[in-house]
Structure 1
Amino acid sequence: MRAHPITFSLPALYFQTYPYLSHSSDATISALALRASSPKPPSSYELLGQRVQRLVASANARQQRKIELTPAPDDSLEDWERLVDEFATLNGVEITRTGESYLVSWNPAEVGE
């Protein structure tokens, strides 16, 4: 099973994956395709993305246009580095290290919210 890379979809800063699903030539899903497309457990990075998605989706975060992200003790350092790097590439999104946490803020005019 192949999946698109995790992407940020602003304005909500949602992480999503889109698994491919194989179809047979007559457009029906074959039993083999169903087995091949069985969801595999999310990666640690995908789990981190889901956690960020829940925070961003909160009414308070959407109103204030910012969230504070704090790594959990069992989070992967590599996942956090990747997350910070990806946020840094987004227009209208600012990420600032605040001790053990990160403050992520966004400007709706720049990100199309």
Structure 2
Amino acid sequence: MEVDMMKSMIIVALLMVATSAAAQQPESPANSIRVSAADLDVTSAQGTRALDRRLKAAVRRVCGELDARDPYRQSAYRQCLTIARQSAKAGRAALVAHASDQAPSINISR
């Protein structure tokens, strides 16, 4: 019961982050991306390295391309990266901590 409550709290927190960041950057390609870890053993070093590569790629997809010509967009892009990385880090920690009893995927939000 406590594990289910903790999972729900993590999901709600990630959704809150995604909602606030999405309101600030309406032109980005996606608000969130689900990263599957179903084929990974995240209790092993090899599995966590593969997961980290997937999360890094997902963060880049969520935030889109940097428009270096526009200072406002540069700032928004950096903010998106920060929020998405925090989301990925929180999701990764929860997934690894509960590897045996959690659905093997993470939502990366901005």
Please state which structure has a larger fraction of its residues in helix.
Answer: 2
Q: TM-score normalized by structure 1?
A: 0.33
Q: TM-score normalized by structure 2?
A: 0.33
Flag the structure with more relative contact order, 1 or 2, with Cα contacts below 8 A and sequence separation at least 6.
2
Q: Give the number of the structure whose alpha-carbon radius of gyration is greater.
A: 1
Please state which structure has a larger fraction of its residues in strand.
Answer: 1
